[in-house]
Amino acid sequence: MTRTPILTTTLGTLTLKNPFILASAPPTASVDGIRRGFHAGWGGAVVKTIHADGMDVKDVSPRFSAWKGTGGELLGFENMELLSKKSVSYWESGIAALKEEYPDHILIASIMGDTDPASWQDLAVRVQDAGCDAIELNVSCPHGMPEAGVGAAIGQNPPLVERLTRDVVRVATVPVFVKMTPNITDITLPARAAACGGAAGISAINSVQSIFGVDIESFEPQPSVGGQGTHGGYSGPAIKPIGLEKVAAIARAVPLPVMGIGGISRWEDAAEYLLLGASAVQVCTAVMWNGYGIVQEMNTGLLRYLEKKGFRSPDELQGAALPRLVSHQSLDRKDRIRPVLGLPEACNGCGRCVIACRDGGYDAIRLREKRLVFNPAACDGCGLCIKVCPAGALAAERYRV
Ligand SMILES: Cc1cc2nc3c(=O)[nH]c(=O)nc-3n(C[C@H](O)[C@H](O)[C@H](O)COP(=O)(O)O)c2cc1C
């Protein structure tokens, strides 16, 4: 019997049309933007972080840097942007309007108060009275806000995370998610603290603290604001491996739903997050780069994948890869690979594998008359040669010792 899959996704007590949520960021900076996102097919949105009126939040110009591949594709993105430019009252009426127009979409209000928990409580009450489905506490912004004692300054301090979560949960009538910073050695500590404080779920990760670069002529850190710079937050494809590791760690440590974030631009990325324990995913940079419309391919691609794998919904994917994530010590030392010329016609004798193997430690590949010769006795099975081959000519052959 064939089972037709659906994209309906469970996120704690919330039900999403699909697991794709716009992250708190420029694509959710206005009511109209969120409206266009919902229209394009996103299952939910987290409003760009709403801050308490009166907090000193003013953006700099410019505030972005981008690392691109040779084909112009985005590899990594850095921003030094702060919070929403709209007032709390703008968002109160905006949330109410969006929920009236899109009752079946999940709308989450990201909030940030000042160092007084009462300002977080006040924001929480105002956004939930406006009708949001959930609240996300931004205790993870890596730039600007920590200097004022909030953002990642809270998220890096588990006792503060627990206390603030508890304070907000005390007044909240909707689920409270806490958004984690990856800029901490052990992310399970603030995640556990949020759970102890009564959080309904965890969002992870916010951007990765970074300095994008320095202009070696002028010495100006990039992006340069009037000749000076500061650290920012790194996002996009380059941070996906960091996000995956953090989400898997949280999923195993805390019995709460997790929204996976970081470098998701294709349905395959989302599937990886779900397989490592996320219940749903949030996307920012890929939307800024390619527009809200990317969600259509994400929805159809994920649906086809579910069908192919025999799963009924994204819920069934959740955590399916976690049992295979083991300690380094328990990895099988008897299962090994060796390189073989899988596509001989693709090899043009460039010698990249020879150099990588020799200067990467083993000297197990030689080029003789433009033909590769492998020395199995010297090969350590590291697999570097396969990774550096620009033509994809090498393949891994598995064997057991
Ligand atoms: C320009 C920009 C602004 C952002 N603003 C916020 C924000 O206001 N609140 C927040 O919680 N996260 C903010 N983020 C972080 C994103 O929500 C997300 O956690 C991060 O970018 C990683 O996801 P991505 O790789 O899909 O971009 C921002 C990110 C970018 C690039």
Q: Determine the distance separating the centroid of ligand 1 and the alpha carbon of 152, expressed in angstroms.
A: 13
Cα separation, 279 vs 319, whole angstroms? 9
Q: What's residue 2's pLDDT?
A: 56
| DSSP strand pairing (371-374 vs 365-368) | antiparallel
The residue whose CB lies within 8 Å of the most ligand 1 atoms, and thus the one to mutate among 207, 259, 285, is 207
Instruction: Return the ligand 1 atom nearest residue 64 CA.
Output: 1
Q: Determine the distance separating the centroid of ligand 1 and the alpha carbon of 149, expressed in angstroms.
A: 19
Burial per residue of 49-73, b for 16 or more beta-carbon CB atoms within 10 angstroms, e otherwise: bbbbeeeebeebeeebbbeeeeeee
**Which residue owns the Cα nearest ligand 1 atom 4?**
25
Instruction: Return the ligand 1 atom nearest residue 83 CA.
Output: 8
Distances in whole angstroms, Cα of residue 131 to Cα of each of 57, 110, 174, 249, 336:
25, 13, 9, 32, 55
Q: What's residue 370's pLDDT?
A: 87
Q: What angle do CA 76, 306, 325 make, to 5 degrees?
A: 60
Cα separation, 214 vs 366, whole angstroms? 39
Q: What's residue 56's pLDDT?
A: 86
Q: Determine the distance separating the centroid of ligand 1 and the alpha carbon of 383, expressed in angstroms.
A: 34
User: On the CB side of 248, how many CA atoms lie within 13 Å of its CA?
Assistant: 19
* Residue 50 one-letter amino acid: I
**Which residue owns the Cα nearest ligand 1 atom 18?**
206
The residue whose CB lies within 8 Å of the most ligand 1 atoms, and thus the one to mutate among 181, 205, 206, is 206
Cα separation, 241 vs 352, whole angstroms? 25
Instruction: Return the ligand 1 atom nearest residue 206 CA.
Output: 19
Cα separation, 79 vs 92, whole angstroms? 27
**Which residue owns the Cα nearest ligand 1 atom 29?**
25
User: Quick one: which H or E segment has residue 93?
Assistant: helix 88-101
* Residue 152 one-letter amino acid: A
Structural domains in the chain, CATH included, are 9-324 (3.20.20.70), 329-400 (3.30.70.20)
Cα separation, 326 vs 333, whole angstroms? 13
2 Rama class: left (phi>0) / alpha (psi -120 to 50) / beta: beta
Q: Determine the distance separating the centroid of ligand 1 and the alpha carbon of 85, expressed in angstroms.
A: 15
**Contact status, residue 146 vs residue 153, Cβ threshold 8 Å:** yes
Residue ranges around ligand 1 (CB below 6 Å): 23-26, 48-49, 77, 79, 81, 83, 110, 138, 141, 179, 206-207, 235-236, 239, 261-264, 283-286
Q: Determine the distance separating the centroid of ligand 1 and the alpha carbon of 225, expressed in angstroms.
A: 20
Q: What does the block give as tokens for 224? A: 């340069």
* Residue 339 one-letter amino acid: P
**Which residue owns the Cα nearest ligand 1 atom 10?**
24
Is the overall model pTM greater than 0.85, yes or no? yes
Q: What's residue 6's pLDDT?
A: 97
Neighbouring-strand partners of residue 87:
none
**Which residue owns the Cα nearest ligand 1 atom 12?**
24
Q: Determine the distance separating the centroid of ligand 1 and the alpha carbon of 318, expressed in angstroms.
A: 23
**Which residue owns the Cα nearest ligand 1 atom 5?**
25
Q: Which residues are catalytic?
A: 141
The rounded average pLDDT for each run of 10 residues, N- to C-terminus, in the chain (401 residues) is 85 98 98 98 98 92 96 96 96 98 98 97 98 98 94 97 98 98 98 98 98 98 96 98 98 98 98 98 98 98 98 98 98 97 95 97 95 96 97 97 94
The residue whose two tokens read 């491996």 is 241
